[in-house]
Amino acid sequence: MDLEDGGAKLIDVARLANCSPATVSRVLNGNPNVNEAVRDRVVRAARELGYVPNGSARALRSTRTRLVGAIIPTLDHAIYATMVDGLQARLSEKDVSLIINTSGYDIDLEYEQARLLVERGVESVVLVGSTHLPTTLAMLEQKRIEYVYTYTSKAMESGAAVGFDNEKAGRTAARYLLDLGHSQFGMIAGITRDNDRAAGRRDGFLNELERSGIDHTRVRVVEGAYRLDDGRRCMQRLMEEERRPTAVFCGSDILAAGAIKYSHAAGIAVPGEVSIVGFDNLEIAELTSPELTTLEVPARDMGRIAADYILASPSQRLHLRQRELAIRLIVRESTAPVRR
């Protein structure tokens, strides 16, 4: 295989995909006049080889671009926007620009977004969570692009992590509800497939209940996308159980707001009949009725400290590559001691 700048050439992709270099170029430039089967072969070959057009590699070799990329799941929720705001504010102090892409919680799409950022010549990439395609991380490492995980405090062998312990967050929610005297629990988790944050919160919640003698098989867990309608639908499923929970932990404030909305419509008193805990401490947490008890995520601090890592020298980065931030329980009106 011919290699240049530590990566594959366009001709290598063409050979692996069994087509001409011109066809590879058309596919990667988004030309619609390419057979779908050929397009799929080219995309698979480019991904397998970690191919990025050579222009960006030459640009990086000749000068610093002062560009940082961030791939976040969505801009629909304020929590990611707050993290990005902290990131951008700190980077701009040093005249570094930020390019923001979204993945829609799809790690395959995240790979494509990462490839586009590499093509643009970014020097570092900020990612959310620690679950990513191996090809995504391999591409970044091959191109010597620093990457930082956020929303998790678990760094891998490469890269850095600035965030919090999601399992600890789940345990905190469980312990709080246990201390209120609850013994019948439910959980509305985010979609856990390819989402280490949602899975960590779920696992921490169930593990803490198990430690207190509550068999996790007795705890109904339903999953939903981070939308109000999904929170409402999931809460309905929980409350239609023969053995209703008296306490429900939601993996986001959006899901919790939907759960409260369903409870009002169904005539279920919150917190009289069921206590509800959210996660994130978004503005919506103070707009629900009752106001939502939740766990506050240090989103702005995450962005700021991730920027500090990116801006640091190589020797400084050794001391900054793993940072666990504290989460905080915010007690409001949606929770109460269990009725005896």
SS3 61: helix
Nearest to 83 by CA among 252, 295, 302: 302
pLDDT digits (tens, 9 = 90+) for 247-272: 999 999 999 999 999 999 999 999 99
End-to-end CA distance of the chain: 72
Q: Identify the pLDDT of residue 7.
A: 63
- Kindly tell me if the per-residue pLDDT of 146 is higher than 70: yes
Domains, the chain, ordered by start: 10-53 (1.10.260.40), 65-164+299-326 (3.40.50.2300), 166-296 (3.40.50.2300)
Q: Identify the pLDDT of residue 53.
A: 65
Q: What is the pTM of this model?
A: 0.80
- For the segment 325-340, the average pLDDT, to the nearest whole number, is 94
pLDDT digits (tens, 9 = 90+) for 10-39: 888 888 989 888 888 888 776 777 888 888
Q: Identify the pLDDT of residue 19.
A: 85
**Long-range contacts at 306-309 (CB < 8 A, ≥ 24 apart):** 306/87, 306/126, 306/148, 306/150, 306/160, 306/162, 307/68, 307/86, 307/87, 307/89, 307/90, 307/91, 308/90, 309/146, 309/148, 309/160, 309/162
- Kindly tell me if the per-residue pLDDT of 62 is higher than 60: no
Nearest to 313 by CA among 321, 324, 304: 321
**CA–CA gap between residue 27 and residue 12 (Å, rounded):** 15
- Percentage of the chain beyond pLDDT 90 is 70
Residue 185's identity, in one-letter code, is F
